[in-house]
Chains A and B, each alone.
Chain A
Amino acid sequence: MTTQQFCTFFLADQLFGIAVDEVQEVIQHQEMTRVPLLPDVIRGLINLRGQIVMAVDLRRRLRIAERPPGTSLINVVVRTKEGPVSLLVDSIGDVVEVDEKTAEPPPQTLEADMRNLVVGVHKLDQGLMHVLNTEEACESLEQMEP
């Protein structure tokens, strides 16, 4: 029996998970510098202890409805091939340990481009946890609607 640990978070009441070893850290809302002319999926740049890190709005990336204005965001900083990237989420959940057996592939009805992003679903007691492909979440942003 193999289990895997996930760092969970919420986007519009949906539960998402990222494998813990991909997560560098979770930090509170940071002041962001917006970057004009880029797709609005990229919310801006944050200063992470002297390192400049791009912040991606996961709601926009996953095409989930916008948050009410003024909602503070949480940065989930993940490691990618290109260095750390911050994923902006609504709130953070627990670290959960899940069993392989609870996993299922995403339903066929999921839109094609979202299938690369949500690579699986875990059936947990508290609901369904979407497993996010972090590399993909930080990639191919240019093709997104600006």
Chain B
Amino acid sequence: MSDDAAIVKEFLIESYENLDRLDQDLVVLEKEPANRETLASIFRTIHTIKGTSGFLAFNELEAVTHAGESLLSRLRDGLLPLNAEITTALLAMLDAVREMLKNIETSGKEGERNDQELILKLARLLEAPAGSPASPLTAARIEPPATPSEQPVPNLGEILIKRGVAKASEVNAAVEHQKAGDPRHVGEILVERGAVKPQDIVEALNAQQQARGQSASDSTIRVDVSQLDRLMNRVGEMVLLRNQIVQYTNSTEDSELLATSQRLNLLTTELQEGVMKTRMQPIGNVWSKFPRTVRDVALGCGKQVRIEMEGKETELDKTIIEAIKDPLTHLVRNAVDHGIEPPQVRRMAGKDPEGLLFLRAFHEGGQVNIEVTDDGAGLDYEKLRNKAIQKALITADQAARMTEREITNLIFLAGFSTAEKVTNVSGRGVGLDVVKTNIEKIGGTVDLQSKPGQGSTVRMKIPLTLAIIPALIVTSAGDRYAIPQVSLLELVRLEGEQSRKGLEFVNGAPVYRLRGKLLPLVYLQRELRADSQAQVAASLKTEFQSVNIVVLRADDRAFGLVVDEINDTEEIVVKPLSKQMKSVNIYAGATIMGDGKVALILDVLGLAQRANVLCDARERETAERQEANELIPVTDTSQRKPMLLFQHGETGRIAIDLALVARLEEFPPSAIEVAGDQEAVQYRGQIMPLVRVTHVLESKRKVISENAHEALHVVVYADRGRSIGLVVDRILDIVEESFVIQPETARRGVLGSAVIQKRVTDILDLPGLVAAALPGQASVGAEA
């Protein structure tokens, strides 16, 4: 019995995989009806399902696939042209098959079904070539011999005999029986006679398929996901244990123990990466369903849409893939239903009547970016405005004052849908707000950009994995808390005089002026314990000399979280909290620290909501966001993006695009090792080459004497997974202001100069600088 269960399970897994591909194949086929290879592949898949379902006595499944197979064989032999009606019928057949497989998976049976209509329809299509005669195109393609690859494939009986599971006499008898009029397959007859076990037939069928050269390579195996989950949990525990051991050994003098723990450290990191890799899946697994989705939606609303994809191979953790599946599907449907215009409208606008839906995925800064772009009409700001007023989400007065960017954000509000009529696709009020919530739940962000008449792009930033994340550890009232680094913008520390003067109050609400803008402050201690305001104020005055502000981003808004102490950043293993503790939404989970104690992980969004940073901010920050609206560069020469400023020589100032900076680190001079001619440090289990910016720029400026005892300031730059450290003299500030680069070509590694903070500042060309300093690295990069 368990044998049978195993066969059914394998049958299911294999069939699901094949079906997913078939959806895509059929849509491709509709575009290129002449693609014989695709047709042959579809035919084989259906044939296999039919065959196996026959052995496993899933009769309904067999009947449906049989009808589909007959139709497919006519198509394959060029006797019938493919048209939309046939494709739709075939897709309906795939749906029916999928439904039955699902039923088999849950109940072991196909379920109560009536597929007679579908079978009849398939049969009818087989009879009449859908009114239209075979197109000459199709007719011309009859010439090549019908799938030559099928010629040398041994038949089932031969395989069974060769494998020694059936005697030649038995097979011959079965073949005779078949010739005598039995409509079943040889395998079926053999099974019925008890000559061979169903499993042997399945294996033989697999072998037959392998002979056709389409089976997966032998170098992969299937592993149950729960097995990987368990492995991941164990590795998580090991990471924690490693943290404890490393922390303990750092306080001992035993050099051997230190060396051993270093080795353990490295190995654990490798193990962690390795296991995480096994859980990675290409995003193409989700995307593969979209051609079908797009086709169905487009057909349903009378549009023509082509789908293109880039970066299918971009990998994400399985849990994340699961989590983004629905939001992504929603976005795709949305883009086709709302975004892309009907063909006649497009033609009038001078566009290709066929709309384009473009999916793109790529890695950037430890995150995955996923974009869904359509070349449709873009957002109609007037319509959005009216809709929002109509739905009482904003007042007419507010609407008039809102910027386009703010209006764009409206569509992420709950209960907002602009579809003029409720179709079966969208317009049910479950809209982009759900997408946004779901993406934010896994630590991602969603952003929409739109140009009237040219289309819209929804961009999502998704973390690679949820299990192990970098976090900032802070202390509040003696307890440690972890803050995920994705939400972290910067750290501000006010000391002495500054700490008293820097904090101001707007009607009792504490704020801090961060580069000229008011940053609302939230006191962690007060939020967590609901202390009275007076107590906090009192403790502020007496207890703390300095104020530590963690600047966080929640829902595109910044706020400052005041904590007692900022400790360190650490890779933490996220452990979920039990159901009973989810009533409070400010914890994202818990983790175990190096000393073995438990620390809570803060949910930055929940915290911001609790502290009311988000809701009243909408109105208050209108002015601010108007400014933000100007962020979009008008021309290429004027830019406004966060830049890291550092000192170079005694007076020189250099800026780097902050987006290129992975981290800022300090190393003691003793940490520098030399490999070949190259200075390097050991960093996170890698050898990180060091580039001294001053040396590369061959500056005529006086180099600040390299103090042998002073820590090195290193800007870590991640280049295709490799870290490169730029040694700079002093880090000055992070600024965000508009500037115009004046190009300069004479110096290597410099893009040009600009006026930043009223001072002339060189803008560094980071990739160019690295290429100049480490020619070897650059070529490695180019190959990748």
Q: Which A residues fall within an 8 A CB radius of B?
A: 31-38, 42, 44-47, 50-52, 54, 82-83, 85, 138-139, 141-142
Contact = CB atoms under 8 A, between A and B. Distances in A.
Given A35-B587, A37-B586, A52-B590, A82 B580 contact: yes
Nearest to A45: B598
Interface of B: 236-237, 240-241, 479, 528-530, 575, 577-581, 583-584, 586-587, 590-592, 596-600
Given A50-B240, A52-B575, A52-B598, A35 B581 contact: yes
Which 4 residue pairs spanning A and B have beta carbons closest together?
A36-B528, A50-B237, A33-B598, A45-B598
B584 A38 contact: yes
B580 A47 contact: no
Given A45-B590, A47-B592, A50-B240, A33 B578 contact: no
A47 B528 CA distance: 22
A22 B377 CA distance: 62
B599 A47 contact: no
Given A35-B587, A36-B528, A50 B580 contact: no
Contacts of A47: 592, 596-598
Contact of A139 (B580, B586, B598): B580
Nearest to A36: B528
A128 B590 CA distance: 39
Contacts of B580: 42, 54, 82, 138-139, 141-142
B597 to A, nearest CB: 6
Contacts of B579: 82
Nearest to A140: B580
A44 B480 CA distance: 13
A42 B479 CA distance: 16
A34 B479 contact: yes
Given A33-B479, A36-B528, 12 more contacts: A32-B598, A33-B598, A33-B599, A35-B600, A45-B590, A50-B236, A52-B591, A82-B580, A83-B578, A85-B578, A138-B580, A142-B583
Given A35-B581, A142-B580, A52 B528 contact: no
A40 B558 CA distance: 32
A42 B581 contact: yes
Nearest to A32: B598
B592 A52 contact: yes
B592 A31 contact: no
A54 B598 contact: no
Contacts of A52: 575, 577, 590-592, 598
30 contacts: A33-B599, A33-B600, A35-B581, A36-B529, A37-B528, A37-B529, A37-B530, A37-B584, A38-B583, A42-B580, A42-B581, A45-B598, A47-B596, A50-B236, A50-B240, A50-B592, A52-B575, A52-B591, A52-B592, A52-B598, A54-B577, A54-B578, A54-B580, A54-B581, A82-B580, A83-B578, A85-B578, A139-B580, A141-B580, A142-B583
A32 B478 CA distance: 13
Contacts of A32: 598
Nearest to A39: B583
